[in-house]
Amino acid sequence: MKIAVIQGPNLNMLGVREQHIYGHMTLDQVHEQLKSQADQNGLELEFFQSNLEGEIVDKIQECLGTADAILINPAAYTHTSIAIRDALAAVAIPTVEVHISNLYKREEFRQNSITAASATGIIAGFGPFGYHLGLISLTQILNEMQAMQQAQAEEQAQAPQTAPAV
């Protein structure tokens, strides 16, 4: 199973910017820990970070047919980007939105997520550990989908075959 990890604007500055909110881990350290978790669970991760909204939209669209799920932190675009929301809705694959800080303890403008409407679920406020929770969530969702597809295939295989009417 392949999961695209998409990081929005300023997340490349983790470990430097507002450490009292975002902590001391760098984005590379977050990704290394996620890769370790993914390796233990037989998952393939693809990492992507951009400060540009259009590049994030392009990356989401590229996930259609190439990724089984998306783990995304839209960062500041969470509160402003209808384009990212629409791209997530268009690809319609399991998506978990992650936020390092608790949006609801922040400024009022940060308490609204436009992109959340297109996510399967949201994890916020657990620091970098939220990415791990997101990966666990997506693994469970994908395993359930796979089990359902397998059960449907078995059900179809066991269904009596009827001859066409003459």
Q: Out of 22, 31, 77, 131, which one is annotated catalytic?
A: 22
For residues 131 and 165, what is the distance between their CA atoms, to the nearest angstrom?
55
Do the beta carbons of residue 70 and residue 3 sit within 8 Å? yes
Instruction: Please check whether residue 72 is in contact with residue 90, taking contact to mean a CB–CB distance below 8 angstroms.
Output: no
84 and 57 in contact (C-beta within 8 Å)? yes
Told to judge if 77 belongs to the known catalytic residues of this protein, a careful annotator would answer no
Taking the C-alpha atoms of residue 134 and residue 125, their distance in angstroms, rounded to an integer, is: 12
131 has catalytic annotation: no
Alpha-carbon span 141 to 86, nearest angstrom: 21
Which listed residue (31, 77, 99, 131) is catalytic?
99
> Coil, strand, or helix at residue 154?
helix
**Whether 50 contacts 9, CB under 8 Å:** yes
CA atoms of 6 and 47, how far apart (whole Å): 6
Encoding tokens for residue 47? Answer: 């990492």
Query: Which residues form the catalytic set?
Result: 22, 99
